[in-house]
């Protein structure tokens, strides 16, 4: 009795010590990683508010002496950013719509119907993961050239209306499989056809999964660089990422410094992604877990 | 609509025994047609944007084709050229392999490390997860630009910070020895805290807590718990992440295109960069198609190899096959 009364506080204190040590390791680790991950962001935002001469001073300063918010409207008008934004909005909106609707339809087919070669077709879906874009790009380019689609937004939109890719199909299918079939059966007994079952019963239940697909699709198309680079030529057609590249490589008159403006342009481009991320954080985690874990 | 009235048996049917199977087959056929209809966007897309281009590029790879004049059959010349004459083919493959090895190794370990940290369940975990995740949604052009500028040899932030601790930093992107590691760092910045980390985190949270408690009673330390419980139980997650990281790393292009232009002195002139230039700057479509097919074969062989090797180290709980476990029925 006496022995255990002495031993217990001792035990508790070593456990507390261990927790403390783990805590120190944890906060040190995440602190360093936060500097690595978040530092460059902060640096870019702060630099975008500096004036040109402050950019090149050494040693570098963290904060601008006076925040030059006018860098933003100046950059916005320097190259047709509005045009780029509009083009990206069109591409992103339509491609996103295509991916979410067709991925939902295809996933519904795989999740709820029996048909010949189903296993084979599903394997085909997943095997396209192993076909990088590089492999198909040359004939695709020639196909779009043949269709007269080069230097239009069509090649960035139309291919995304065909199922939306293996990730999204898989994610939606996984979600459909978690919904009990009793819901479908009940609706069917009431005389609903398969499309009405999908539209009226399953889609409302799948809202989180559909939102997740939409968000990832948004990011994918907003950030896309290679496809616009290959398919677009004239600046009026450029999407935002290509527009920023155009700004980076186009010369300024009379050697006007541009680095701080380029930082402002970078912020302008990344802003919608960052805002979307903060607005819809929980969908990111859920969506990734659903599509990734069980792969 | 007829499917919804199963109770009314047609009066004209000769016998109930023969009507039931017929109804079942027509129902099954109807289901099959509907199912195929629903997956038809994928089937069409697969034919137009995957199968046809692959066959077409196999054909083109055996021709000389500059878009203006019709393709001219040259047999295996493109492949022969790649392996014997084109020095940049071998060198770009070599650079890509270097990039990929570093990027996969540090990327996967980094994501796992970050996930292990966040799995400690200390206060503030969600906030940190947000900070970690943010770079992965940053557009590649934005991250390339902002790092180019941090890497600036004379006035850049990084070399300034290194100078504070007495290290004279290299020229980073402008040095042929440091250019690849520099790009790897940008890539790690954009990928460690992203979906790969979240997948690891989910894997870690799936490890039953009781197992650790049982091991603790047996006197297991932190390392042996990690080695004998965590690692085997998250090995499917690890496998998934490694496969995707390899495919992604081999495709490296945009980063180099924006940040280094393939330089200095071809130090970051990766395989896909070479393919891109041949196709869209030199209009050598046939050669680019041959490069594309070789690339596909490399990806395919590496992935199949992984699946083969995975039997040795990936552990699926309960000995089930992985597909069965995920199917949910």
Of A40, A136, A169, the CB nearest to B57: A136
Closest chain B C-alpha to A235 CA, distance in angstroms: 17
Question: With contacts defined as CB-CB under 8 Å, which chain B residues touch A271?
Answer: none
In chain B, residues 48-107 whose CB comes closer than 8 Å to chain A: 48-50, 52-54, 56-57, 60, 67
DSSP B155-196: T-HHHHHHHHTT-----GGGSTTTHHHHHHHHHHHHHTTSHH
Closest Cβ–Cβ partner in B56, B147, B258 for A40: B147
Share of residues in chain B with pLDDT > 70 (%): 89
Question: Is residue B207 within 8 angstroms of chain A, CB to CB?
Answer: no
Long-range contacts of B181-185 (CB under 8 A, 24+ apart): B181/B102, B182/B147, B182/B151, B182/B259, B183/B99, B183/B252, B183/B255, B183/B256, B183/B259, B183/B260, B183/B268, B184/B99, B184/B102, B184/B103, B184/B106, B185/B147
| Per-residue pLDDT tens digits for B278-321 | 999 998 999 999 999 999 999 999 999 999 988 888 887 654 44
Of A15-29, A247-261, B132-146, B273-287, least confident by mean pLDDT is A247-261
Average pLDDT of every residue of chain A: 85
Task: List pLDDT tens digits, range A116-160.
Answer: 999 999 999 988 888 888 888 989 999 999 999 999 999 999 999
Judged against a pLDDT cut of 80, whether residue B2 lies above it is answered with no
The token pair that represents B118 in the structure block? 């966040």
Which positions 298-317 of B are in contact with A (Cβ < 8 Å)?
Answer: 299-300, 303
Measured distance CA(B265)–CA(A176) in Å, rounded: 52
CB atoms under 10 Å from CB of B210, counted, come to 8
pLDDT in tens, A153-176: 999 999 999 988 888 899 889 888
> Which pLDDT belongs to residue A148?
92
- What radius of gyration do chain B's Cα atoms show? 27
Burial of B250 from C-beta contacts in 10 A (0-12 / 13-18 / 19+): buried
Disruptive mutation site among B141, B148, B188, B253 for chain A (greatest number of A CBs within 10 Å): B141
Write out pLDDT tens, residues A175-230.
888 888 888 888 888 888 888 888 988 888 888 888 888 888 998 999 899 999 99
Report the residue of chain B nearest A265, measured CA to CA.
B142
* pLDDT band, very low/low/confident/very high, at B269 (cuts 50, 70, 90): very high
| Pick from B67, B117, B156: CB nearest A29 | B117
A and B: number of Cβ contacts within 8 A: 278
- Residue B14: pLDDT band (50, 70, 90) is very low
Q: What is the pLDDT of residue A123?
A: 92
A189 Cα to chain B: minimum distance (Å): 6
């Amino acid at each position: 009795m006496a022995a255990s009364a002495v031993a217990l506080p001792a035990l508790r204190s070593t456990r507390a010590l261990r927790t403390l040590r783990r805590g120190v390791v944890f906060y040190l680790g995440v602190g360093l990683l936060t500097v690595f991950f978040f530092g460059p962001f902060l640096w870019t935002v702060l630099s975008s508010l500096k004036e040109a001469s402050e950019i090149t001073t050494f040693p570098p300063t963290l904060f601008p002496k006076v925040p030059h918010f006018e860098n933003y409207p100046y950059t916005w008008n320097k190259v047709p950013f509005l045009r780029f934004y509009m083009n990206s909005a069109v591409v992103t909106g339509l491609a996103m719509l295509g991916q979410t609707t067709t991925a939902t339809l295809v996933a519904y087919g795989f999740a709820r119907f029996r048909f010949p070669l189903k296993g084979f077709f599903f394997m085909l879906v997943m095997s396209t993961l192993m076909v990088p874009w590089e492999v198909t790009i040359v004939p695709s380019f020639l196909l779009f050239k043949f269709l007269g689609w080069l230097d239009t937004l069509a090649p960035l939109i139309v291919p995304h209306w065909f199922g939306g890719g293996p990730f999204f199909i898989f994610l939606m299918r996984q979600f459909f499989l978690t919904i009990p079939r009793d819901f479908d059966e009940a609706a069917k007994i009431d005389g609903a056809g398969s499309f009405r079952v999908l539209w009226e019963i399953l889609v409302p239940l799948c809202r989180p999964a559909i939102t997740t697909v939409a968000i990832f699709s948004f990011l994918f198309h907003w950030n896309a660089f290679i496809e616009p680079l290959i398919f677009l030529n004239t600046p009026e057609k450029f999407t935002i990422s290509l527009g920023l590249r155009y700004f980076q490589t186009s010369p300024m008159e009379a050697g006007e410094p541009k680095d701080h403006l380029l930082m402002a342009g970078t912020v302008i481009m990344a802003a919608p992604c960052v805002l979307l991320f903060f607005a819809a954080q929980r969908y990111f985690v859920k969506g990734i877990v659903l599509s990734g874990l069980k792969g | 609509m007829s499917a919804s009235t199963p109770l009314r048996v047609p009066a004209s049917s000769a016998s109930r025994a023969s009507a039931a199977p017929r109804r079942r087959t027509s129902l099954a056929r109807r289901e099959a047609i509907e199912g195929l209809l629903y997956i038809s966007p994928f089937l069409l897309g697969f034919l137009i944007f995957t199968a046809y281009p692959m066959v077409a590029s196999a054909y083109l790879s055996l021709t000389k084709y500059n878009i203006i004049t019709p393709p001219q059959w040259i047999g295996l010349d493109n492949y022969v050229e790649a392996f014997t004459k084109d020095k940049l083919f071998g060198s770009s493959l070599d650079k890509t392999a270097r990039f990929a090895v570093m990027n996969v190794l540090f990327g996967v370990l980094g994501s796992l490390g970050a996930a292990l940290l966040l799995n400690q369940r200390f206060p503030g975990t969600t906030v940190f997860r947000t900070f970690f995740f943010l770079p992965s949604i940053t557009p590649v052009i934005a991250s390339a630009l902002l790092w180019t500028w941090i890497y600036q040899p004379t006035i850049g932030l990084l070399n300034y910070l290194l100078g504070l601790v007495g290290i004279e930093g290299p020229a980073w992107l402008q040095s042929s020895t440091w250019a690849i590691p520099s790009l790897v760092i940008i890539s790690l910045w954009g990928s460690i805290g992203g979906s790969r980390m979240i997948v690891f985190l989910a894997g870690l949270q799936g490890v039953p807590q009781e197992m650790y408690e049982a091991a603790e009673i047996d006197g297991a330390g932190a390392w042996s718990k990690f080695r004998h419980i965590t690692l085997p139980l998250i090995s499917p997650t690890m496998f998934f992440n490694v496969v995707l990281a390899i495919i992604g790393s081999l495709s490296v292009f945009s980063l180099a295109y924006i940040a280094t232009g393939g330089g200095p002195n071809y130090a970051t002139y990766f395989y896909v960069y070479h393919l891109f230039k041949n196709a869209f700057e030199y209009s050598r479509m046939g050669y680019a198609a041959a490069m594309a097919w070789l690339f596909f074969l490399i990806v395919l062989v590496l992935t199949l190899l992984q699946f083969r090797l995975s039997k040795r180290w990936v552990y699926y709980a309960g000995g089930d096959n992985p597909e069965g476990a995920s199917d949910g029925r």
